[in-house]
Amino acid sequence: MRHIVSLLVENEAGALSRIAGLFSARGYNIESLTVATTEDRTLSRMTIITNGSERIIEQITKQLNKLVDVVKLQDFTEGNFIEREMMFVKVKAQGDGPRAEVKRLSDIFRARIIDVTDTTFCIELTGSGEKLDAYIKAMHENNVIEVVRSGSMGILRGEKSLTI
């Protein structure tokens, strides 16, 4: 099953490689990993999307927790949370018809066109992974020049939070 694990990590050189190394050394899957510092500069916030049986996921969270650099960790999967991913897509857009079509589709998905040339559009889109997939599908493969996805990040709903 797919799990979304959120971590607070010491903002130290090497912390990221410890976490990435753990996944490769123990043969766990990483679907995506996002990381950036938080408002507290000494901490990084990380979201990892992984999958595996319940036993594997239990080991993953335990092994992550065991890393000295990991301050706090939570598996959001069971709880109430919001998950978003951001994407840039560069598409071919030549001629009035196709350009209008891209704009129309982008409106439907609430995507934003952030860069324009005579022949291309660059679009920014935020949403769940499925939404991003659907957008790419709607664009037709042969029109898509380039896709950049951030990987998912997550936050708990309501008053709960992952903080120290």
Q: What does the binding site for other proteins look like in residue numbers (CB under 8 A)?
A: 9-10, 13-14, 17-18, 21, 25, 55, 58-59, 62-63, 65-66, 68-71, 164
Q: Is the CB of 68 or the CB of 97 nearer to other proteins?
A: 68
Q: Maximum Cα–Cα distance for the chain, whole Å?
A: 57
Angle at 84 between CA 156 and CA 50, to 5 degrees: 80
- Between 18 and 149, CB nearer to other proteins: 18
Rounded least distance, CB 162 to other proteins, Å:
14
Name which of 65 and 117 has its Cβ closer to other proteins: 65
CB of 70 to other proteins, least distance (A): 6
Smaller CB distance to other proteins: residue 36 or 108? 36
How far is C-alpha 138 from the geometric centre of its chain's CA atoms? 20
In the complex, what is the shortest distance from the CB of residue 76 to other proteins, in angstroms, rounded to a whole number? 19
Pick the closer one to other proteins by CB: 2 or 62: 62
- Smallest gap from residue 63 Cβ to other proteins (A): 5
CB of 145 to other proteins, least distance (A): 35
